[in-house]
Amino acid sequence: MAGKTLYDKLWDNHLVRQRDDGSALIYIDRQLLHEVTSPQAFEGLRLAGRKPWRIDANLATPDHNVPTTVNERKTGIEGIADPISKIQVKTLDENCNAFDIVQFDMMDTRQGIVHVVGPEQGATLPGMTVVCGDSHTSTHGAFGALAHGIGTSEVEHVLATQCLVAKKMKNMLVRVDGELGIGVTSKDVVLAIIGKIGTAGGTGFAIEFGGDVFRAMSMEGRMTVCNMAIEAGARAGMVAVDQTTIDYVKGRPFAPKDALWDKAVEAWSDLHSDADAVFDEVVVLQGEDIKPQVTWGTSPEMVLPVDATVPSPTDAEGYERALEYMGLTAGMPITDIPVDRVFIGSCTNSRIEDLREAAAVVKGRKVSESVKEALVVPGSGLVKEQAEAEGLDKVFEEAGLQWREPGCSMCLAMNADKLGAGEHCASTSNRNFEGRQGFGGRTHLVSPAMAAAAAVAGHFVDVRQFMGQEG
C-alpha cells in the first residue's frame, strides 16, 4: 500500500465517523471567531437552545471592522464612528461574554487579524484541525495543520458539535525546487503558483507545498503562501512540519510546555508526507525562474513578472473586461502603471518579517509625491509592539507612510480605509477583485518589498533595483 500524504494523516487523525454516503464527521481542535461571520451562528445556537460543545477550543478577536486610526481606537468600541461596524464588534463582544468564549477585544494588545493572532499565540499547533468563518484560514496550514475556511452555518455546527461534516479532498503537491533569487519573496512564489495553475486549479484539492524553497522558507513566509492557497481554489494549503516549525511554536502562550512539549514534538515528527505517498496531481516550479510579481487584472491569476508588459484583451477570456476595469492598455510595461495608494498589511503580509522587508526598502527614501496615501497596518497589537521596538514605525513615518493600529483595514475596506474609484493601489493583500478595496478601486497584488518600492517610485518598479543601494 502506498504511503500517506500529510493531508491523509491529518484527515485520518481527526476522523470521527465515516458515513456510508461518502461524507464524514471530522473533529475540530480549534475554531477562531471574528465579528463578521459569527453573529448569525451565535443567534442560531440561541434559537435552538444549544450550548457550545467545548468552549475552550474557541478563540475570538474582532478584525474586519475595527478602525485603524489611533483616535478612533482610543475609546474602544464606543469610539467606532461607523454605527453599523460598531454594532457588529459589540455583538461579538456580547456573544463571547454570554457564551464564555475567550476574546482578545479591541483594547487588548493581543488583538489582531485572526490569522496572525492564532499562530502568534500558539493557538494554532501542528497536527491540529483549525477552522474559522474566513477563507484565509488556509494560512494555518503552514504549521502542518489541516486548516480551512467555513461558512457561518458551519461555524454554528462546530460550536455546537466540535465537528464538521466534510468530504475528503484530493491531494495536490506543489513543489518549488531550487532557490529564490534576492528580492524574490514568499508572496512572489505564491503569486507565480496561482499564475501557473489558475484560480480554480486547486478546486477540490488540499495542496501541500513542498520542495527546497519551502524547506528554506521561514514560518511567516510559509503562512503567506498557505494564506493564498484559497486564491488558487484550494480550501486548504499546508507545509510539512520541520525544525523551523518547532522553533517557531516553542514558548508561545498556548503551546504545550515541559514534558508535554517533548511528547508533542515527538508526535509532530510524523507530520509530513511519506516518501512513497501518491498525489493526485503534482505541479513543479523552479525557484530561480520566479521574479517579483505584480497582478495587472481583477483575479489573482492575472499576474505577471514585473518586467513584463500588459497582455492583449484577446489573449484569454475575461481579459478585455479586466483591462477595461483596470484602465490599462495592452503592451504597456507593468512598470508604467502609476500607483495612487499603497497598502502594506492584511493576513497575507502584516507580520514582522513583512514589515521589516518593507522598511528596508523605504529606509532613507521618501514616498513619491504622486502617491496620495501609503498605509502600513500591522497584523496584531503584538506585531505593532515588536515593530515599534525595532524602530520600524519611525522608518515608515520618516519616509511618509502612515503607521496604523492593527486590523484588516484596506484589505477589504470594511472600515474607513479604502480606495477611490479609478485609483491604483499597490497592495500586499490577497484579492484584486473588482471593488474589493473600494468601489471602482484598482488593486495590484505585490510583496511588501514591491509595495514599498512602488510607494517610493510612484509606479511599479523592480525592487531588485533598490537592493544593495542606500536610499
Interaction with other proteins in 307-366: which residues (CB under 8 A)? Answer: 317-318
d(CA 80, CA 77): 6
Place of cell 505541479: 283
Q: Is the CB of 317 or the CB of 369 nearer to other proteins? A: 317
Question: Which residues are within 8 A (CB) of 256 and not within 5 positions of it... i.e. 6 or more apart?
Answer: 125, 263, 264
Computed over its alpha carbons, how large is the radius of gyration of the chain?
21
Chain centre to alpha carbon of residue 79:
27
Asked whether the beta carbons of 460 and 294 are under 8 A apart, the reply is yes
Q: Where are the alpha helices (DSSP H) in 62-211?
A: 70-73, 83-99, 114-121, 152-161, 186-197
Part in contact with ligand SF4 (CB under 6 A); list of ranges 143-151, 188-196, 331-339, 407-415? 407-415
Part in contact with ligand SF4 (CB under 6 A); list of ranges 42-50, 366-374, 384-392, 408-416? 408-416
Which residue type occupies 299?
A: S
Secondary structure of 338-390 in HEC code, one letter for each residue: ECCEEEECCCCCCCHHHHHHHHHHHCCCCCCCCCCEEEECCCEHHHHHHHHHC
**Residue 35 is a binding residue for ligand SF4 (CB under 6 A):** no
- Binding residues for ligand SF4, rule CB under 6 A, total 13
**Residue 47 is a binding residue for other proteins (CB under 8 A):** no
Q: How far is the CB of 114 from other proteins (least distance, A)?
A: 12
Which residue type occupies 373?
A: E
**Residue 199 is a binding residue for other proteins (CB under 8 A):** yes
Span 199-238, contacts to ligand SF4 by CB under 6 A: none
User: Which among 215, 216, 217, 197 has a CA at the least distance from the CA of 207?
Assistant: 197
User: Which one of 102, 107, 332, 389 is in contact with other proteins (CB under 8 A)?
Assistant: 102
Span 110-169, contacts to ligand SF4 by CB under 6 A: 113, 115, 134, 136
Span 366-395, contacts to other proteins by CB under 8 A: none
Q: Is the CB of 127 or the CB of 407 nearer to ligand SF4? A: 407
**Strands 170-177 vs 205-210: parallel, antiparallel or unpaired:** parallel
Burial (0-12, 13-18, 19+ Cβ within 10 Å), 6: buried
Q: Is the CB of 112 or the CB of 126 nearer to ligand SF4? A: 112
Part in contact with other proteins (CB under 8 A); list of ranges 23-31, 186-194, 285-293, 452-460? 23-31
**Residue 97 is a binding residue for other proteins (CB under 8 A):** no
Part in contact with other proteins (CB under 8 A); list of ranges 249-257, 306-314, 373-381, 449-457? 249-257
Which of ligand SF4, other proteins, none has residue 346 at its interface (CB below 5 to 8 Å by kind)?
Answer: ligand SF4
**Residue 408 is a binding residue for ligand SF4 (CB under 6 A):** yes
**DSSP label at residue 239:** -
**Residue 161 is a binding residue for other proteins (CB under 8 A):** yes
**Residue 64 is a binding residue for ligand SF4 (CB under 6 A):** yes
Span 428-447, contacts to other proteins by CB under 8 A: 431, 433-436, 439
User: Which among 37, 9, 14 has a CA at the least distance from the CA of 26?
Assistant: 14
